[in-house]
Amino acid sequence: MLEELMLGKKVWAVVGANQNPEKYGNMIYRKLRLRGYEVYAVNPLYDVVEGDPCYKDLSSLPKIPDVVNMVVSPKRSKNFVEEAAGLGIKYIWFQPGTYDEEVLDLAKKLGLETVQACVLVATR
State the average pLDDT over residues 38-60: 97
Q: What average pLDDT does the structure give for the chain?
A: 97
Give the domain ranges of the chain. Answer: 2-122
pLDDT digits (tens, 9 = 90+) for 61-120: 999 999 999 999 999 999 999 999 999 999 999 999 999 999 999 999 999 999 999 999
Superfamily assignment of 2-122 in CATH? NAD(P)-binding Rossmann-like Domain (3.40.50.720)
Distance CA 41, CA 16 (A): 7
SS3 content of the chain, % helix, strand, coil (to 5): 40, 25, 40
List b or e across 2-11, with b for residues whose CB sees 16 or more CB atoms inside 10 angstroms. eeeebbeeee
